[in-house]
Homo-oligomer: A and B are copies of this chain.
Amino acid sequence: MSATTRTDHALERLVFFSDAVFAIAITLLVLELKVPHLDKGSPDRAYLAELANLIPSFAGFIISFAVVGVFWMGHHRAFALAARYSNRILGWNMALLGVIAFMPFSTAFFAQNLNQHVPAIFYCATMLAAGALNMVVVRIATGPDMVDPEADPAMVRYARGRSLAVVIGAVTALVLAFFIPAYAQIGLASIGLWRRLLTSRPTQLG
């Protein structure tokens, strides 16, 4: 096995491990949804009422699923541009995975205590930590140590711009959380807006 093959293999195994953590964290989000238990013979509207009570939890599940999904896609996109492995990325990537693995907790805390400052701020701070670590990971993966020399520079700029948009979106959500906590997650939707301002989408995406 040549040195090149071996470092490629290290990169592949890192990507695999990261994918697994993302996949597990995203699927564990559902475990925080508690199944309602009703007495036998409860009327249909009692069941509907229980489901209605769960709407904030469902919304939290959907938004966090989308958020972890966006982080995974960004990770996916950045590593597709990398061709070499560097030990520099290992610690930052582990820290990012740690925050991603922590998301089911933050999501449940927020969704079960809607319209409260502390859980909303805590949720958005988690998001900001993930966004900041993600930005570092993306920058290393698309930086001189790791980037594929043949990678399209427009794609590199796009991947980096996206990662910055996520950070600014998280800051927006964090600021909103101080004023209208129930709608803090809406701040995350601004990620799309920031991305549009910060990046010009390359025509062909890898």
- Asked if residues A101 and B30 are in contact (CB atoms below 8 Å), the reply is yes
The interface residues of chain B lying within 8 Å CB-to-CB of A97 are 26
A157 interfacial by beta-carbon distance below 8 Å: no
A171 interfacial by beta-carbon distance below 8 Å: no
8 A-B pairs within 8 Å (CB atoms) are namely A3-B204, A10-B80, A10-B206, A20-B24, A24-B27, A37-B112, A47-B118, A65-B98
- Asked if residues A44 and B94 are in contact (CB atoms below 8 Å), the reply is no
Contact digits for A1-42, partner B, Cβ 8 Å, 1 yes 0 no:
101001101100111110111111111111111011110001
A109 interfacial by beta-carbon distance below 8 Å: yes
Of A69-77, A130-138, A159-167, A190-198, the one touching chain B: A69-77
Closest 4 CB pairs of A and B: A47-B118, A20-B23, A24-B27, A35-B108
- Asked if residues B16 and A19 are in contact (CB atoms below 8 Å), the reply is yes
Residues of A that sit less than 8 Å from B by CB: 1, 3, 6-7, 9-10, 13-17, 19-33, 35-38, 42, 44, 47-48, 51, 61-62, 65-66, 69, 72-73, 76, 80, 83, 85, 87, 90, 94, 97-98, 101-102, 104-105, 108-109, 112-113, 116-119, 122, 148, 150, 204-206
- Asked if residues A118 and B23 are in contact (CB atoms below 8 Å), the reply is no
Complex partner residue of A48 from B112, B118, B206, CB under 8 angstroms: B118
Q: How many copies does the complex hold?
A: 4
- Asked if residues A118 and B35 are in contact (CB atoms below 8 Å), the reply is no
Chain A interface, >50% SS class: helix
* Nearest CB in chain B: distance from A156 CB, A: 13
The interface residues of chain B lying within 8 Å CB-to-CB of A204 are 3
- Asked if residues A1 and B148 are in contact (CB atoms below 8 Å), the reply is yes
The interface residues of chain B lying within 8 Å CB-to-CB of A22 are 17
- Asked if residues A98 and B36 are in contact (CB atoms below 8 Å), the reply is no
The interface residues of chain B lying within 8 Å CB-to-CB of A148 are 1
